[in-house]
Amino acid sequence: MSRGLRVGPAGNSELFYEQGHKSTTDAFAWQRRLFGLDAFEIPFGRGISMTVETAGRIGLAAREADVDISAHAPYYVNLANPDEALAAASARYLTDSARLLQAMGGTRLVVHVGSPKGQTREEALERCAERLLMVRSALVKEDRGEIRLCLETMGRPSVLGTLEEILSLVRLDGSFLPCLDFAHLHAAQGGSLRSHEDFAQVLDRVEAALGLPRARESHMHFSRIEFGAKGEIRHRVFSDTGFGPDFALLAPLLVSRGYGGTLICESRGTMAQDAAEMKQALARARAGGLT
């Protein structure tokens, strides 16, 4: 595990703003100083408004604090859309996100692959596969081949993003990685991650599909989550102990199996504090404090 597992928040915590900070360029030194966190995910989920100049300033601040940057592409990307014009727009959202991520010095771009929209899942997956490869080709042509599309498992069964679907798409290109969102997996399957063994089965499936070296590079999201009959409702915080899943069950597995990718906390408002809890749990596991 030469790179080491990097841990950090998705966006800025409420505490960051409560302490008087306003600019994301301040976030990296802040989270290093308070929590020792060394990753950060830039949220483009609701749209892309950042300039390349701002991205450059963010990247410089992150490098100075030794924080790895990833980014989340817009939520409304749908590479399965049967409308060719709308699918092309989704592809542009990905290449635009990649351009800014490159300017920040990051390489991991998290992607929601899409929704069937009246198609069979098989038809939708075929469209996603074709368009993901087109986006990859476009990135290479634009000298952005270092950008890795991280395809995310989803929290609602109605959209594409079961673990098996994501692994099938990741296998299309050696640059692709899974984004294992454990909260989404838990919610989509009615609360499936309740034990050490449940988490082990997920990692076993990833490792069987991709091989252990590539599985170890996985991008990962974690939070507690509220769900209902249709899956995900909203992300929760670690102090909401009435909701799962519990990171203490996953931490020793990531350590014992040598995972060295990126682990991002998506708690609502307390993402830095909860990421710090994850980092502490991993340290305890390394010291033999968790079984």
Span 12-27, average pLDDT: 97
For range 181-186, the mean pLDDT: 98
Distance CA 238, CA 275 (A): 9
The yes-or-no verdict on residue 3 having pLDDT over 90 is no
> So what's the pLDDT on residue 2?
42
Question: Which CATH number covers residue 99?
Answer: 3.20.20.150
Question: 245 lies in a domain?
Answer: yes
The whole-number pLDDT of residue 63 equals 98
> b/e map of 239-272 (b: 16 or more CB within 10 Å)?
ebeebbbbbebbbbbbbebebbbbbbbbbbebbb
Which residue from 3, 8, 67, 68 is spatially nearest to 220, judged by alpha carbons? Answer: 8
pLDDT at position 178 over 60: yes
Residue 45 pLDDT: 83
Report yes or no on 179 lying in a domain.
yes
- Whether 210 is covered by a domain: the verdict is yes
What is the per-residue pLDDT for 289? 55
Looking at the structure of the chain, the number of domains it has is: 1
Residue 12 in any domain: the answer is yes
pLDDT at 251: 98
Listed residue (281, 272, 235, 250) closest to 41, CA to CA: 272
Give the pLDDT of residue 290: 46
User: Is pLDDT at 288 greater than 90 in this prediction?
Assistant: no
Instruction: Assess if residue 1 is contained within a domain.
Output: no
Q: pLDDT band for position 1 (50/70/90)?
A: very low
Q: pLDDT tens-digit profile of 32-52? A: 999 999 999 999 988 899 999
Question: Is the confidence at residue 278, as pLDDT, over 90?
Answer: yes
Q: What is the mean predicted confidence (pLDDT) over 230-256?
A: 97
Residue 109 within any structural domain of the chain: yes
Q: Which residues pair with 193 in a beta bridge?
A: none
CA distances from residue 57 to 38, 51, 67, 188 in whole angstroms, order as listed? 17, 10, 14, 38
Residue-wise pLDDT tens digits, 84-119: 999 999 999 999 999 999 999 999 999 999 999 899
Q: Strands 231-236 and 219-222, how do they pair? A: unpaired
User: What average pLDDT score do residues 64-71 get?
Assistant: 98
Report, as an integer, the average pLDDT of 17-44.
97
Q: What number is the average pLDDT over the span 234-240?
A: 97
**Mean pLDDT, all residues of the chain:** 96
**pLDDT 10s digits, 116-143:** 989 999 999 999 999 999 999 999 999 9
Mean pLDDT in residue range 15-24: 96
The dihedral through the CA atoms of 65, 71, 166, 277 has a sign that is positive
Would residue 291 count as lying in a domain? no
205: containing domain: 6-286
Percent of the chain at pLDDT above 70?
98
Q: Is 3 exposed, middle or buried (0-12, 13-18, 19+ CB in 10 A)?
A: exposed
